[in-house]
Amino acid sequence: MTADHLVVHRGKTPVLHGIDFALAPGTVTGLLGPSGCGKTTLMRAIVGVQRITSGMLTVLGRPAGAAELRRRVAYTSQNLSIYRDISVHANVAYFASLAGAPGDVDRVIEAVELTAYADRPVDTLSGGQASRVSLACALVGDPELLVLDEPTVGLDPLTRESLWDYFHALAAGGTTLLVSSHVMDEAVRCDDVLLMRKGLFLAHAPIHDLQERTGTRTPEAAFLALIRGKEAA
């Protein structure tokens, strides 16, 4: 997928100020940046629920939001958009029927390690378990592009680790993933990172390259060095 001078307003305020990037298929790209920098806005544009002001946004060879992308692109929003009063299985089954993939339910519940909880109403699960239900819903129908808005927020280190491993397993199978986080340390989990600040990208590269380029040893330090470099320039 590619963005070409993408500008997006929310209300009257410009939020994305003309960004360019391309995502390599079969990779995990981290979309990192401080709160309010525009991560969710970009993700919403990619999945076609946010109007673009100007520029081009091409997803799997089609303009973002094209009807045929509905089954090829999946999104988990930052606010869980699942039904809390019905079971895990019922939630996933609902998404599976919308996606035309009713046979996927048990497989995706297993993939997010919730088989033992399948019959429990979502509101009896922990926060991390509930967020994995929304991931399961996104996985039905084997989307080619997965756009995940802060899927690891609030998860313990073990669950986080197993989710990142799972993302890489999906990428190895050819899925393209864009995963946002405002925890800079998650950069080490990604093949590539898009560092965003105030609606613009500071960098797009593997975190090791950015650390080398800036002579720093942590993702956080690299990010700060890039900001200072930008301000000095």
Ligand X SMILES: Nc1ncnc2c1ncn2[C@@H]1O[C@H](COP(=O)(O)OP(=O)(O)OP(=O)(O)O)[C@@H](O)[C@H]1O
Residue 40 interacts with Mg ion (CB under 5 A): yes or no:
yes
Burial of residue 228 (CB within 10 Å: 0-12, 13-18, 19+) is exposed
Q: Which of 1, 3, 6, 15 binds ligand X (CB under 6 A)?
A: 15
Total number of residues binding Mg ion (CB under 5 A)?
3
Q: Which of 19, 28, 29, 38 binds ligand X (CB under 6 A)?
A: 38
Residue 70 interacts with ligand X (CB under 6 A): yes or no:
no
Q: Name residue 28's beta-bridge partners.
A: 177
Smaller CB distance to ligand X: residue 86 or 153?
153
Please provide the DSSP assignment of 2-59 as one string: EEEEEEEEETTEEEEEEEEEEPPTT-EEEEE--TTSSHHHHHHHHHT-S---EEEEEE
Smaller CB distance to ligand X: residue 43 or 114?
43
Strand order through the sheet with 192-197:
73-76, 145-148, 176-181, 28-32, 192-197, 200-205
Residue 13 interacts with ligand X (CB under 6 A): yes or no:
yes
As measured in angstroms, the least distance from the Cβ of 117 to Mg ion is 27
Smaller CB distance to ligand X: residue 137 or 194?
194
As separate numbers, helices (DSSP H) first and strands (DSSP E) second, the chain gives 7, 10
**What is d(CA 105, CA 92) in angstroms, rounded to the nearest whole number?**
6
Question: CB under 6 A: which stretch of 31-39, 60-68, 161-169, 187-195 binds ligand X?
Answer: 31-39
As measured in angstroms, the least distance from the Cβ of 223 to Mg ion is 17
Helix (H, G, I), strand (E, B) or coil at 189: helix
Residues 75-104 that bind Mg ion (CB under 5 A): 78
Q: Which of 5, 24, 36, 54 binds ligand X (CB under 6 A)?
A: 36
User: CB under 8 Å to 104, separation ≥6 — which residues?
Assistant: 92, 96, 139, 140, 141, 142
Question: CB under 6 A: which stretch of 30-38, 81-89, 129-137, 158-166 binds ligand X?
Answer: 30-38
- Sequence length of the chain is 233
As measured in angstroms, the least distance from the Cβ of 149 to Mg ion is 6
Smaller CB distance to Mg ion: residue 40 or 134?
40
Could you give phi then psi for residue 219, rounded to 5 degrees? -55, -40
H or E segment to which residue 95 belongs: helix 88-98
Contact partner, 171, from ligand X, Mg ion, none, Cβ < 5-8 Å per class: none
Contacting residues toward Mg ion, per CB under 5 A: 39-40, 78
- The residues that touch ligand X, with contacts defined as CB under 6 A, are 10-11, 13, 15, 33, 35-41, 78, 182
